[in-house]
Structure 1
């Protein structure tokens, strides 16, 4: 609430001097809007991660809270045909299977149906969703929450190296 108030205070000079000359109004308006833009950018874009992607600290805490009750859902397409952008992330990070990433399953997010296969686990299982960079991971997270899962976090993907370091071996 204090941050919102400070944004409004930054607009106060515009209101105060709005009856002054047009040149004064323009100068104050430009300065105030630049302040608002800087403050709102800092407020809403504290990192370059996609919206909804957990921070490394959030991932660390989530994994610790999960203990043995953790599942990692990889929403990437296994051959990158449907999502050509996955080629880079698949080169960096393996899909689950054959003993690789034992707590992970590959449940592909289907953009056409906006759905994915349901994991065969209890709905209170701690689930980290991810994809190449966070978009499909967020959709998978939202889908699972809509289906009744209570502990779901979007871990982005291999492009988010700081996040991937927290869960990539699970």
Structure 2
């Protein structure tokens, strides 16, 4: 029975029957926060961590979007791209698109100081974590994984940057 509870909790988070009270901005109980963190992919920062990080970073923040618009390479990205477009001159001024390539386990390095505050993201956090790890391995020192548009409470903290 203990195995069923986390599965039901994860399912409940993804259904409208449970999540409206969490998404409405109401105060979360310990139980709700625990359930939300269980549903996140490993390494995705909490909304609270992201909010603090964004506030401290100010205009030095760099958001690295690692999603791939090529549906043949990353078919799963199409859903998140429909929700949130890739960065451009007119969209998300503090963000850049640096595609994470699964074949080479790499992405182009941003042309910024190594201590620049960086949030990586993909659609939901998997490649965002791989990108974070890659940047850390290449000398960047101030990097968080923000998940992506799928993590709506995290996305609300940095998605417009």
Contact 2:116 2:140 in 1 (8 A): yes
- Confirm whether residue 109 of structure 1 aligns to residue 95 of structure 2: no
Query: What stretches of structure 1 move > 3 A for 4+ residues in a row?
Result: none
Secondary structure at the counterpart of residue 67 of structure 1? helix
Secondary structure at the counterpart of residue 72 of structure 1? strand
What per-residue deviation string (whole Å, max 9, x for no partner) do you get for residues 56-102 of structure 1? 11100000111221100000002333111111100000100131100
CA distance in 2 between counterparts of 1:162 and 1:81 reads 29
Within-5 A mapping of 1:13-52? 46-52=37-43
Report the Cα offset of residue 104 of structure 1. 0.4
Within-5 A mapping of 1:72-91? 72-91=63-82
CA distance in 2 between counterparts of 1:98 and 1:126 reads 20
- Confirm whether residue 120 of structure 1 aligns to residue 99 of structure 2: no
Secondary structure at the counterpart of residue 59 of structure 2? coil
Secondary structure at the counterpart of residue 47 of structure 1? helix
Please name the residue that 1:3 is paired with: none
Contact 2:88 2:96 in 1 (8 A): yes
How many residue pairs align between the two structures?
135
- Confirm whether residue 140 of structure 1 aligns to residue 134 of structure 2: no
CA distance in 1 between counterparts of 2:106 and 2:155 reads 24
Please name the residue that 2:26 is paired with: none
Report the Cα offset of residue 47 of structure 1. 2.6
Max Rg structure? 1
Contact 2:69 2:78 in 1 (8 A): no
- Cα RMSD for the two superposed structures: 2.3
> Normalized per residue, which structure has more helix?
1
Unaligned runs of at least 5 residues, structure 1: 1-29
Report the Cα offset of residue 149 of structure 1. 0.7
Query: Which residue among 131, 144, 160 is the counterpart of 2:151?
Result: 160
Report the Cα offset of residue 46 of structure 1. 4.0
Unaligned runs of at least 5 residues, structure 2: 7-30
Please name the residue that 2:121 is paired with: 130
Report the Cα offset of residue 155 of structure 1. 0.3
